[in-house]
Every structure is written in structure tokens, then in C-alpha cells.
């Protein structure tokens, strides 16, 4: 009888067991070779591997229906309220920034000794991203630079005209993603 006419039958329990052992060893060797886990971790009880991915605790969420489903990591959100103050000087003014509810606000302060510093125009939103967790200010020539880090790890730089009060909104540009 030719091989084309034969029907294949599923492997028996002994063959399936051998295939699983060989596949598991091959997968463990692969993940050790590419550096995903250490050799000691590959031999630890309760670590299985499928398709080159290591699973701890013997639970493969893609194949084991009795495994509890992992809870997704929530997207970080900016802290509520105001925090993270910074300042920069462009004589005769000082610019103060603060992050409030994920947005950056800047206050222009006229520094004219001997009189007290005089706020000009109140706190002004500079525009840009709305999920900011950190911001810094710097100045050069007739510009104020607002550098921000968002809750998702994105970095932007805003450029504003240094006036009394600060000209808003600033023009924001996304910068390369930081390492990490």
C-alpha cells in the first residue's frame, strides 16, 4: 500500500510523552541560549516552556484553561493635584512651572529689585501633552523651553516666546524615546 493511501493515527501515550519531553528540553535549551532565563531557572521545578517562551509556576495561560488569567498592568496616570515646580530666569523675568493634573502651567514673575517680585498674567497652560508627570524649564535668547515627560514615558519639548506674560500655547515636538 502506498503512503498516500494510509490514514495517519494520532501517536499513543508513550510517543506523546517522548515528544513533550524532547520539545520541552529543546525549548528550555533555546531560551537559555538566547538569554531569556538562566540554566538554573530552566531546570527549576514548575517551569515549562512552549514556543521558546518560559512560564513560571507550570502555568501556560495560552494553553491551560485552569490557570487564573493574569491581570493587565494598568496604564500609568499622572498624579492629581499640583507638584513638580521648576524655574528659569530670562532677565528681568523668572518663569515658574508646575505640573497640575497632568498639564504644565507657567507663571511669569517680574523680578525688579528693590521691589517685590510681581506675578504677571497668572498661571498659563502651555499646551502640549495632558498626561505629564515631570517638567523642566530653561531659557535662551527670547525663548523659554518646557521639557516634559509623560506617564507613558514619552518626552516632548515645547518652545514658547519669552514675553510678559509667557506667550502660550507653546509649540511642542516629540523627542526620541528614552532608553529603558
The DSSP result for 78-138, as a single string, is PPSSEEEEEEEEETTEEEEEEEETTEEEEEEEE--TTSPPEEEEEEEE--S-S-EEEEEEE
Residue listed under C-alpha cell 498661571: 123
With a cut of 90, say whether residue 150 has pLDDT above it.
yes
Between residues 156 and 43, which one has the greater pLDDT? 156
Average pLDDT score over residue span 84-98 = 94
Calculate what percentage of the chain has a pLDDT beyond 70: 56
With a cut of 70, say whether residue 125 has pLDDT above it.
yes
Average pLDDT score over residue span 112-139 = 93
* pTM summary value: 0.57
CA distance 36 to 44: 14
| Residues pairing with 105 in the sheet | 98, 125
Lowest mean pLDDT among 4-18, 35-49, 64-78, 106-120: 35-49
Q: What is the pLDDT of residue 48?
A: 44
With a cut of 60, say whether residue 79 has pLDDT above it.
yes
Amino acid at each position: 500500500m502506498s503512503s498516500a493511501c494510509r490514514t495517519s493515527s494520532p501517536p499513543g501515550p508513550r510517543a506523546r510523552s517522548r515528544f513533550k519531553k524532547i520539545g520541552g528540553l529543546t525549548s528550555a535549551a533555546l531560551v537559555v541560549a538566547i538569554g531569556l532565563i538562566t540554566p538554573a531557572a530552566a531546570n527549576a521545578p514548575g517551569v515549562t516552556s512552549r514556543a521558546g517562551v518560559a512560564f513560571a509556576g507550570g502555568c501556560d495561560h495560552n494553553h491551560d484553561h485552569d490557570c487564573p488569567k493574569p491581570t493587565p498592568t494598568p496604564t500609568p496616570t499622572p498624579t492629581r493635584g499640583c507638584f513638580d515646580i521648576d524655574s528659569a530666569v530670562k532677565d528681568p523675568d523668572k518663569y515658574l512651572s508646575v505640573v497640575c493634573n497632568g498639564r504644565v502651567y507657567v507663571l511669569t514673575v517680574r523680578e525688579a529689585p528693590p521691589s517685590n517680585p510681581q506675578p504677571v498674567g497668572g498661571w498659563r497652560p502651555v499646551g502640549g501633552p495632558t498626561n505629564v508627570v515631570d517638567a523642566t524649564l530653561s531659557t535662551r535668547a527670547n525663548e523659554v523651553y518646557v521639557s516634559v515627560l509623560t506617564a507613558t514615558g514619552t518626552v516632548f519639548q515645547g518652545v514658547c516666546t519669552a514675553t510678559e506674560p509667557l506667550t502660550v500655547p507653546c509649540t511642542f515636538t516629540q523627542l526620541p524615546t528614552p532608553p529603558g
